[in-house]
Structure 1
Amino acid sequence: MSWLREFSQARDDVLSSAVAQLPSPPRVIRPTVYDSWRRSRLQGLHPERVEPRHLLESEADNYLARAVSPIVAKYEAALEHGAYALVLTDRDGRLLRRWVKDPALAAVMDNLGVAPGTNMDESTVGTTSLIAMLTGRPEMIKGPEHFSEKFREFSCSSAPIIHPVNHRLLGSVSLICRLWDTAPIMLPWVIDFVAAVTEALRIRASHREQQLLDAYTAHNRDARHPVIALDSKTIITNAAAARLLGGVDQSLLWEHARRSLVDRLQGPTTLTLPDGQVLTVDCRAVSHETDDAGAVLVIKKQAQSRRAVEGTSKANGFTQLPGLVGRSAAWRAFCRDAAAHMGSRTPVLVTGEAGSGRLAVTQALQGRRDVRVIDAAGASSRGAERWCRDLEALLDIPDVSLVIRHVELLTPTSALAALATLRRASPHRLLATAEKPAFDSTRHNALLDSFTAVLEVPPLRDRLEDFSDLVAHLTERETEGAVQVQWTPEAIQALSRLDWPGNLNSLNALVRRLVVGRSSGRRIGVEHLPPEYLARGARRPLASLEQTEAQAIMNALQAAGGNKNQAALSLGIARSTLYRKVRALGLDLSSTVY
């Protein structure tokens, strides 16, 4: 009891001081406890005013809870013969399950809010034995070592649960009792319990790999047909798939499969390989428990028509537009449509979203010959009459190929005037660009209606397989080939998750931002991507406020060199809160190395 009196006095001295003037930790207060108290105070908590936070949603039946529940049955004797409670939390401090045999203890815990469906992390209730998830080792917090006055009559021992395969923190197990029932055996008991949980998780992990192998075996009935079974970490292929795919990066295959599973796509989809081959992929989930449980890809190589083969280039397997790159199914289909208009005099209107490369396409259709460009936006800024005179001056050039940009911006009167000018002196070849939403306009544009051939450039978000080629092409263009810069597959995969509302213009701006001034021989990885891009690459759409929060988190992580403790402190939150926010926002830190 002398320790209790001495500690309580030291506690009062420390917690009654101003945050900026906390005294040095007395000998009786362990550094781990003192550091947690300090973090709790920095987060604005008060020992007499903390409450477990009730959550709107509970995950009592999640993966961790299902793994732990069978282990509890083997250790029930300790709970039946003593006033102890066993508590399971996830890595964010959310209480998932509680096992307690003593009705009186259960009632007290209910009154304190220590029940499933509440949050008990450090940023919510201050110091508890859940700091084990911060320190990474088993911890015991006795009586007044708790930050909250409400918990000073209790002791708890906790040990973190670390996944035996990927070594990620999953949560914790805690044994709780009243202070006077504290026993030295509590912490070793929890450590032994968590060891049993870890073994069960190892068996489950082996089961997952076995499940992947079983799914592969079930679909690999004919070794002549390519079959792949994979998840984010494992890939199994037969010989036919290995020959077909060659050095194709696993991240490309898994991202294609993951999108198919998340979007619940029905039926075969197409995938274009780096060598230009187009595959038909039937993606089938290994398990419907989670979106990352794995998939089986049944692959067929698409047969090319004789006409397509005759016009095929050796490099890309199809007729590529001069100066442009791409190999995705969407881009190949566009190039096939565009190839019919190359070298002809047919007026062509190229539509698409802003920044999708419409002007580059019009220039490619003329084989990169001298093409004169006039912007219809000038009709508004300079006046329709003067703009038509500029148009007429370009038409006086012999054999001119003319591109009218942003033709949708012409007013009905300006469009009629331009059409009259073009009829008086038609160019050798007329092309125009227009943003796709322009066709929804209620204003009639006679010039738009005059085009008999219309090509729609696919948006960047539909060109997943093109990112590697596009980034390499834009990098070489920005560096003029003088600097050798390589992008890692992880960086390309992260970029492919974005929606890119600015399309190629936005991608080019990012490439320019990262490669200009970079020395030769450097690699660009995920750690070099701006935080705002990583935030936008969340696995679910984010609202504007969520985007701001996600960007703040990625900024803090980048500034801290990936140190999550340091990032959490700079944000003024506990590390467990940081994990919870990252998980809630759907941010992917698995391949992010700072």
Structure 2
Amino acid sequence: MRHWLRVSWLRSAQANVDADQPGADYVDPDTVDTVLTRAATPVLDAMAQEIDSEPVSLILTDASGTVLRRHLGDTGLAAALDSVHLAPGFRYAETSVGTNGIGTSLEVGAPLLIRGDEHYNGRLRRFSCAGAPVTHPVTGAVLGAVDLTTLAENTNALLLSFAKMVAQRIREQILEEAGELDRALLRDYHLACQHSGRPVIAIGDEVLMMNDLTQRMFDSRDQAAIIDRTRDSRGRSEPFTLLADLPSGVTARLSYRPTFVDDRLAGGIVHIKEQVTRGRTRTAGRGGAPVLRSVVGTSATWTRAVEEVFDACARTEWIVVDGEPGSGRSALVRAVHEYARSGRLLVPVDASAVSVDELLERIATAVDEGADLLIRRVDGLDGDTLDAVSDLLLDEASNSAADDSWVTVTMDSADGLPDTHPLLRLFPRTVPVPPLRHHVDDLPELSRFLLDSMGAENLTLSRAAANQLARLSWQGNVTHLRSVLEDIFRRRRSGTIELDDLPAECRSATRRRLTRIESLERDAVVDALTLHNGDKAAAAQALGMSRATIYRKIREYGIEFGRAPKPERTTRQRRSVSRS
């Protein structure tokens, strides 16, 4: 048995694949237009004509092995393929159905032919299949696979050649399309530079350009902050405008306009306008924000949020504080209240954690007692409850004795209430709290604060570990960072946190959100590398995958792995080197 085939059978056995019945899972097909499907459609339509009346099927899958399209040269083959679920929507990963042309070619990362009796599953042995991965011609990322399947008696070496040819034509189509999209983005970029007279950035899937005016007006720290904010615009097909507080103290207005080729998104152009708000000027320092005890951060974006909440609290102006979950909205309100109104009681009420009756009773009690109020997550309430809350707060606002009361509500920025909602009429201002990824320069100070708060005073972050943490997207924000540090503290009580001490999820710097299966796979690769001290060949063998596959997984997930320090030379070794 060929080596890669033997290893594939071992992987299939370790995955507990049923050797009698194919266990392909059905996945609701993703109908989203992708780079792969756009490029593959004209190629597959043309190739389908080449196999007309031939006893073979031409199949396209995504990177997980899920069948996206199936072309039949002979319709008589359809019933046989349906009987083993080799049809659109079914996932033919090796871990599900064992050794097969689709899953194994994706696992190995190379084209291969699986003859009938080489299939791990008995019911698949009536077929032969040739699979070829489709990789992105620029990034090298695996996008999917092309597969040709026929009955075992029709096995021919030309199957593999045909599959490889189709995969190569799809790659060429991707490259041609990418070139067309990039040319359109470049055209709009040049037009914007010529006519706007402003700093301009162009951003696409694989393209990032900034004009000379951007580089002259903003230093490297401001440029990095602008790029970080514009990164969120990738893939957005509608115009939008946002304000970005830069490290220099300046607020920049970023206006994004998408670029299309027909109905395909090529990227977008960001026009940048510097604007100074409320007397702020470009300066290296900021002195308007109070020094709070229970939250930390000195970045421009975080400091602005602190200043605005503090200003509202000092003037007892009712405000909405919005942002992503875990970004520190409630912690900021409590910290400002402790600093500015320490003599008054702040009553926090989590609208999503109590019943409707308890929520209204606690709000009413706080109102009657003249306490300040923090109502969290009001956007999760239904319409009737929101109306009842609005009525209570309206009574409080109309009470002349309530002039000294301060009410704050928090909302999720993605699921907030519409601006016209009656409740929001009681709150003249909304203060956005930035997600952690927009003020990662606060991460070292924030990490130190969180470690101290959990009793880990003797634990410090190395420069390499801190740099790696700063590269992450932190979808869970500060709450996510705290859970990571708590996980490290459970395993290490003192010393320096090195790169290898970080959890598996923090050793991957990919910006896209991973599926549950992808997260488990990433963690398994990181654990194997840790166990074998970075030896990729040994880690691949332990995981039952090829060396090419583990290198691909490391690139795909952006896995960082610290190198073991070189052993210290003995005195005799140093003298020997000196003499030589």
TM-score range (shorter-chain normalised) is 0.5 to 0.7
Any idea what SS the aligned residue of 2:209 has?
strand
Q: Deviations over 1:319-377 (max 9, x none)?
A: 232466444557426515636988xxx89999977762456535765xxxxxxxxxxxx
Alpha-carbon shift at residue 278 of structure 1 (Å):
0.5
Alpha-carbon shift at residue 271 of structure 1 (Å):
0.7
Unaligned segments of structure 1, at least 5 residues = 1-28, 366-400, 420-431, 583-587
Please tell me whether the aligned partners of residues 534 and 554 of structure 1 are also in contact (alpha carbons under 8 angstroms): no
Distance 1:76 1:458, change over 3 A: closer
Q: 1:294-373 alignment to 2 at 5 Å?
A: 294-305=267-278, 308-309=279-280, 314-316=283-285, 319-322=288-291, 325-328=297-300, 331-332=303-304, 334-335=306-307, 338=310, 356-358=331-333, 360-361=335-336
Alpha-carbon shift at residue 217 of structure 1 (Å):
2.5
Q: Report the equivalent of 1:97.
A: 69
- Distance in 1, matches of 2:16 and 2:90, equals 20
- Distance in 2, matches of 1:485 and 1:571, equals 31
Alpha-carbon shift at residue 83 of structure 1 (Å):
2.6
- Distance in 2, matches of 1:100 and 1:414, equals 71
- Distance in 1, matches of 2:498 and 2:247, equals 20
Q: Report the equivalent of 1:164.
A: 137
Q: Pick one of 541, 561, 576 that aligns with 2:529.
A: 561
Matched, 1:123 2:75: no
Please tell me whether the aligned partners of residues 39 and 574 of structure 1 are also in contact (alpha carbons under 8 angstroms): no
Q: Report the equivalent of 1:452.
A: 404
Distance 1:355 1:148, change over 3 A: same
- Distance in 2, matches of 1:124 and 1:188, equals 26
Please tell me whether the aligned partners of residues 140 and 156 of structure 1 are also in contact (alpha carbons under 8 angstroms): yes
Q: Report the equivalent of 1:56.
A: 28
Please tell me whether the aligned partners of residues 468 and 506 of structure 2 are also in contact (alpha carbons under 8 angstroms): no
- Distance in 2, matches of 1:85 and 1:487, equals 50
Distance 1:38 1:61, change over 3 A: same
Distance 1:154 1:316, change over 3 A: same
- Distance in 2, matches of 1:330 and 1:456, equals 18
- Distance in 1, matches of 2:263 and 2:490, equals 37
Q: 1:128-527 alignment to 2 at 5 Å?
A: 128-130=100-102, 131-222=104-195, 224-231=197-204, 233-248=206-221, 252-260=225-233, 267-287=240-260, 294-305=267-278, 308-309=279-280, 314-316=283-285, 319-322=288-291, 325-328=297-300, 331-332=303-304, 334-335=306-307, 338=310, 356-358=331-333, 360-361=335-336, 403=343, 406=346, 435-437=374-376, 452=404, 454=406, 462-464=433-435, 467-475=439-447, 485=463, 491-492=469-470, 494-500=472-478, 502=479, 517=494, 519=496
Alpha-carbon shift at residue 85 of structure 1 (Å):
2.3
Please tell me whether the aligned partners of residues 372 and 407 of structure 2 are also in contact (alpha carbons under 8 angstroms): no
Alpha-carbon shift at residue 279 of structure 1 (Å):
0.6
Distance 1:122 1:567, change over 3 A: farther
Question: How many equivalent residue pairs?
Answer: 491
Distance 1:195 1:330, change over 3 A: same
Please tell me whether the aligned partners of residues 227 and 241 of structure 1 are also in contact (alpha carbons under 8 angstroms): yes
- Distance in 1, matches of 2:239 and 2:179, equals 30
Q: Deviations over 1:361-398 (max 9, x none)?
A: 35765xxxxxxxxxxxxxxxxxxxxxxxxxxxxxxxxx
- Distance in 2, matches of 1:265 and 1:510, equals 39
Which amino acid letter does the alignment assign opposite residue 55 of structure 2?
Answer: A
Which amino acid letter does the alignment assign opposite residue 247 of structure 1?
Answer: S
Alpha-carbon shift at residue 260 of structure 1 (Å):
4.9
Q: Report the equivalent of 2:420.
A: none
- Distance in 1, matches of 2:290 and 2:166, equals 64
Please tell me whether the aligned partners of residues 59 and 67 of structure 2 are also in contact (alpha carbons under 8 angstroms): yes
Alpha-carbon shift at residue 299 of structure 1 (Å):
1.1
Alpha-carbon shift at residue 445 of structure 1 (Å):
11
Alpha-carbon shift at residue 300 of structure 1 (Å):
0.8
Please tell me whether the aligned partners of residues 261 and 285 of structure 1 are also in contact (alpha carbons under 8 angstroms): no
Alpha-carbon shift at residue 269 of structure 1 (Å):
1.0
- Distance in 2, matches of 1:505 and 1:279, equals 30
> Identity over the aligned pairs, expressed in percent?
22
Q: Deviations over 1:288-337 (max 9, x none)?
A: 999995332111111345xx24xx69323562324664445574265156
Matched, 1:593 2:560: yes
Q: Deviations over 1:383-441 (max 9, x none)?
A: xxxxxxxxxxxxxxxxxx9545645699999999999xxxxxxxxxxxx9864449969
Alpha-carbon shift at residue 507 of structure 1 (Å):
9.2
Distance 1:406 1:550, change over 3 A: farther
- Distance in 2, matches of 1:187 and 1:402, equals 75
What CA RMSD, in Å, does the superposition of the two structures yield over aligned residues? 5.3
- Distance in 1, matches of 2:367 and 2:42, equals 78
Alpha-carbon shift at residue 257 of structure 1 (Å):
3.2
Any idea what SS the aligned residue of 1:215 has?
helix
Any idea what SS the aligned residue of 1:268 has?
strand
Any idea what SS the aligned residue of 2:51 has?
helix
Q: Pick one of 68, 71, 81 that aligns with 2:43.
A: 71
- Distance in 2, matches of 1:504 and 1:453, equals 34
Distance 1:151 1:349, change over 3 A: closer
Any idea what SS the aligned residue of 1:104 has?
helix
Alpha-carbon shift at residue 201 of structure 1 (Å):
2.1
- Distance in 1, matches of 2:208 and 2:520, equals 35
- Distance in 1, matches of 2:486 and 2:222, equals 26
- Distance in 1, matches of 2:524 and 2:262, equals 33
Alpha-carbon shift at residue 149 of structure 1 (Å):
2.4
Any idea what SS the aligned residue of 2:257 has?
strand
Which amino acid letter does the alignment assign opposite residue 156 of structure 1?
Answer: C
Q: Deviations over 1:266-292 (max 9, x none)?
A: 642101112121111112233499999
Alpha-carbon shift at residue 91 of structure 1 (Å):
1.5
Distance 1:496 1:454, change over 3 A: farther
- Distance in 1, matches of 2:540 and 2:263, equals 28
- Distance in 2, matches of 1:60 and 1:348, equals 45
Please tell me whether the aligned partners of residues 461 and 498 of structure 2 are also in contact (alpha carbons under 8 angstroms): no
Matched, 1:42 2:9: no
Alpha-carbon shift at residue 93 of structure 1 (Å):
1.1
Unaligned segments of structure 2, at least 5 residues = 322-327, 350-360, 379-388, 413-431, 562-580
Q: Report the equivalent of 1:20.
A: none
- Distance in 2, matches of 1:330 and 1:558, equals 33
Please tell me whether the aligned partners of residues 351 and 456 of structure 1 are also in contact (alpha carbons under 8 angstroms): yes
Higher mean C-alpha displacement, 503-512 vs 133-142: 503-512
- Distance in 2, matches of 1:468 and 1:60, equals 32
Which amino acid letter does the alignment assign opposite residue 246 of structure 2?
Answer: L
Q: Report the equivalent of 1:114.
A: 86
Q: Report the equivalent of 1:383.
A: none
Q: Report the equivalent of 2:357.
A: none
- Distance in 2, matches of 1:483 and 1:120, equals 43
Q: Report the equivalent of 1:13.
A: none
Alpha-carbon shift at residue 485 of structure 1 (Å):
3.7
- Distance in 2, matches of 1:261 and 1:286, equals 11
Please tell me whether the aligned partners of residues 346 and 373 of structure 2 are also in contact (alpha carbons under 8 angstroms): yes
Distance 1:550 1:67, change over 3 A: closer
